């Protein structure tokens, strides 16, 4: 059995607040939101980090972005703006090693990030 929390959520072994699911990805509310809207868009396929992506998975990554944009429109933050973040390894603060796109919006955000 997978030890990965996002694989467990995908398989219904851990409860979550899903807001979207299709045949490539799922999206859910972040358990520790950093903005009024903080969603995670997660591929169904277990891919640990961006460094592990293969050319065959490029459509998966595109799908994550298109889904994020759709959810941002649904949440009413598409025009005010939002930030899409995919952390990779320690210096970026990656804590879950199953790639995911953070969708952050609903408040102004600093740039550059800390």
> Of 61 and 94, which CB lies nearer to ligand AMP in the complex structure?
94
Tell me the C-alpha to C-alpha distance, in Å, between residue 3 and each of 13, 65, 79.
11, 26, 38
DSSP helix, strand, coil percent of the chain (3-state; round to 5): 30, 20, 50
Q: Is 44 in the site for Zn ion (CB under 5 A)?
A: no
Whether residue 100 lies in the annotated active site: yes
Select from 45-53, 55-63, 75-83, 92-100 the region that touches ligand AMP (CB under 6 A): 92-100
Q: Are 109 and 83 a contacting pair, CB within 8 Å?
A: yes
Q: Is 46 in the site for Zn ion (CB under 5 A)?
A: yes
Q: Under rule CB under 6 A, which residues in 36-55 are in contact with ligand AMP?
A: 40
Q: Is 6 in the site for Zn ion (CB under 5 A)?
A: yes
Min CB(10)–ligand AMP separation in Å: 11
Distance CA 9, CA 75 (A): 22
């Amino acid at each position: 059995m997978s030890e990965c929390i996002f694989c467990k959520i995908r398989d219904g072994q851990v409860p979550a607040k899903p807001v979207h699911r299709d045949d490539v990805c799922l999206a859910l509310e972040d358990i520790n939101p950093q903005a009024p809207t903080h969603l995670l868009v997660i591929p169904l396929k277990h891919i640990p980090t961006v460094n592990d992506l293969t050319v065959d998975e490029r459509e998966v990554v595109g799908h994550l972005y298109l889904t994020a944009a759709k959810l941002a429109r649904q949440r009413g933050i598409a025009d005010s703006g939002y930030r899409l973040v995919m952390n990779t390894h320690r210096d970026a603060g990656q804590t879950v090693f199953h790639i995911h796109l953070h969708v952050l919006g609903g408040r102004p955000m600093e740039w550059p990030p800390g």
